[in-house]
Structure 1
């Protein structure tokens, strides 16, 4: 079997944080470097905050994630705060200028109750006027249609092991997509299976939740170049301000 620690290391390798090469990472890096104190919600292996500190960020940096395996890798850097909790479990009170949820982490907030509780906790963690930046896949782009074994990826992990990874969609219902991710040896021997669920919200529903939580949308884009959201946009990129 492929362990949690090995899977976290593989993610760190394949999805390495790279604001020099990836427009999405560059977007968040600019926001983080311009802010004073920053909270990364769903920080994963910590790449965003690692890079910010390495590039000279002098403010407070804190990351939270409920997954102990990814936090173990994040904690390789000790000049950042790391907290094992969910978004809804955050207990800070007006301590940050910016909160971010990158890499589509926002879509893991599935139920209305979890979404409301998470937005309330994020808002509470921000100082008055603080900003919350995140992105979610536009439901009209139907990204899940490309998540199938025909789009498997061949990769090599940090130990030199040749692997094949793929996704299979199990259920699409009411804007919620459940899918299975598989890691296997190149000969097809399955090493690990993970089941995950994501929520796809359109602009109207998204803005209703934000307004209810006390956020005002400051900017909204449909891509990483700053273009408007259209019927063919693949992303809904939002920066909202604590009202």
Structure 2
């Protein structure tokens, strides 16, 4: 039996549901406070779909480069779904809030990717608009818990193996198997940025940091922090 891209998108919804996620209350509060929201790296659209289900009546736009994920998101027709990367965004001054949840920011691996994406997000926001996102804190070395990790999901097993850690970029594979047969292997790289480096990229793109936290209840960034949660203002 094959394991399709559509199956993989559905599996993501099952293994990473938005409801009950520690970050949900943080982002949901920001989304509900404004009229027009751009979700960059929206995946299967869980955040924006949840906003509609709560009664959000404004403009909600999801942007993602993965066509199967967007196809799943399109089960909700009252949200705009756009295929593309953050770097491809061409909106100008149309949103009050842009978000990149679930560590999607780490998919911007090169300096060029970061600069072009941040400039595009800044351009999409109105002056004074906010950009909220999260990224893993490199000091926590979370990738060390991934290597060899295996998780059962229904009749499937999802496993992770880290191939390389170099210059702040972690390259790893995610494998899905059933009864010992490998059905799918995906390879990805994520960038882990230190706070000062991250804030430098933001400043260069025209953002100022409004708040930066080490958890989802707005605690400080400390040596025990696992995430850097940032809210930046478009100047």
Question: How far 1:232 moved relative to its partner?
Answer: 1.5
Matched residue SS, 1:123: helix
Q: Distance in 2 between matches of 1:123 and 1:171?
A: 32
Residue 127 of structure 2 corresponds to 128
Deviations 1:166-216 (A, max 9, x none): 10000000000000000001x221110000000000100000000000000
- The count of aligned residue pairs is 234
SS of the equivalent of 1:88 reads helix
The answer for the alignment partner of 2:110 in structure 1 is 111
The Cα of 1:148 is off from its aligned counterpart by 2.1
TM-score normalised according to structure 2 size: 0.98
TM-superposition CA deviations, 1:1-33 (whole Å, max 9, x none): 311111001111111111xx2221111111101
The runs of 4+ residues in structure 1 deviating greater than 6 Å are none
Q: Deviations over 1:100-158 (max 9, x none)?
A: 00000000000000100000000000001000000000000001001122x310111xx
CA distance in 1 between partners of 2:140 and 2:217 (Å): 17
1:233 aligns with 2:232: no
Alignment partners' CA distance in 2, 1:168 and 1:25: 28
Looking at structure 1, the residues matched to 64 and 208 of structure 2 have their Cα atoms a distance apart, in angstroms, of: 25
Kindly indicate whether residue 184 of structure 2 is the aligned counterpart of residue 184 of structure 1: no
**Number of the residue aligned with 2:208:** 216
Unmatched runs of 5 consecutive residues or more in structure 2: none
- Superposition map of 1:48-197 within 5 A: 48-149=47-148, 151-156=149-154, 162-185=155-178, 187-197=179-189
Matched, 1:27 2:30: no
TM-score (norm 1): 0.95
How far, CA to CA, are the matches of 1:198 and 1:206 in structure 2? Answer: 14
1:4 aligned partner: 5
In structure 1, C-alpha distance between the alignment counterparts of 2:112 and 2:33, rounded to whole Å: 32
